[in-house]
Structure 1
Amino acid sequence: MVSFMNRSFGFSAASITPDRSFPTADNVDLDRYMRDWYVIAHIPPKVTRTAHNSIERYRRKGDDQIDVTFTFRKDGPNGAHKTMNPTGFVVPNTGNAVWAMQFVWPIKMQFVVSYVDDDYQTTIVARERRDFVWIMAATPQISDDAYDALVERVRQIGYDMSKLRKVPQQPAESHVSLA
Structure 2
Amino acid sequence: MMKWILIIAAVAAVGALLVACTGDDDKEPNQTLAEFVNVERFMGTWYVHGYTPTPMDKNAYNATETYELEEDGKIQTTYRFQKGGFDGKWKTLKPRGWVHDTESNAEWRMRFFGIFTSPYYILYVSPNYRETVIGHPDKDLAWIMTRSAKLGDRDYERLLLELAQRDYEMDKVTRVQHNGD
Q: TM-score range by the shorter chain?
A: 0.7 to 0.9
Change (3 A) 1:105 1:51: same
Q: Which amino acid aligns with 1:41?
A: G
2:55 aligned with 1:37: no
Q: Work out whether residues 17 and 98 of structure 1, in 8 Å CA contact, stay in contact via their aligned partners in 2.
A: no
Q: Which amino acid aligns with 1:98?
A: E
2:83 aligned with 1:68: no
Change (3 A) 1:158 1:61: same
Change (3 A) 1:20 1:103: closer
Map of 1:106 onto structure 2: 115
| Higher Cα Rg, which structure | 2
1:78-135 CA distances to partner (integer Å, 9 max, x unpaired)?
1011011110111143411111100122311010111000010100110111121000
2:164 aligned with 1:163: no
Q: Please point out which of 20, 23, 26 is paired with 2:32.
A: 23
Q: Work out whether residues 16 and 109 of structure 1, in 8 Å CA contact, stay in contact via their aligned partners in 2.
A: no
Structure 1 stretch 145-154 or stretch 132-141: which is displaced more?
A: 145-154
Q: Which amino acid aligns with 1:46?
A: P
Q: Work out whether residues 132 and 144 of structure 2, in 8 Å CA contact, stay in contact via their aligned partners in 1.
A: yes
- Aligned partners of 2:69, 2:107: CA distance in 1, in Å? 15
- Aligned partners of 2:121, 2:25: CA distance in 1, in Å? 9
Q: Please point out which of 130, 146, 149 is paired with 2:139.
A: 130
CA RMSD of aligned residues (A): 2.1
Q: Work out whether residues 44 and 134 of structure 1, in 8 Å CA contact, stay in contact via their aligned partners in 2.
A: no
In the alignment of these two chains, the number of paired residues is 161
2:155 aligned with 1:150: no
Structure 1 stretch 145-154 or stretch 74-83: which is displaced more?
A: 145-154
Q: TM-score, normalised by structure 2?
A: 0.82
What SS does structure 2 have at the residue aligned with 1:157? coil
Q: Work out whether residues 124 and 133 of structure 1, in 8 Å CA contact, stay in contact via their aligned partners in 2.
A: yes
Map of 1:82 onto structure 2: 91
- Aligned partners of 1:17, 1:130: CA distance in 2, in Å? 17
Q: Which amino acid aligns with 1:119?
A: N
Change (3 A) 1:94 1:78: farther
- Give unpaired runs (5+ residues) of structure 2: 1-17
Q: Work out whether residues 101 and 108 of structure 2, in 8 Å CA contact, stay in contact via their aligned partners in 1.
A: no
Q: Work out whether residues 48 and 176 of structure 2, in 8 Å CA contact, stay in contact via their aligned partners in 1.
A: yes
Change (3 A) 1:92 1:156: closer
Structure 1 stretch 30-39 or stretch 136-145: which is displaced more?
A: 136-145
1:23-42 CA distances to partner (integer Å, 9 max, x unpaired)?
21111001110010000011
Map of 2:14 onto structure 1: none
Structure 1 stretch 63-72 or stretch 74-83: which is displaced more?
A: 63-72
Q: Which amino acid aligns with 2:153?
A: D
- Aligned partners of 1:17, 1:157: CA distance in 2, in Å? 20
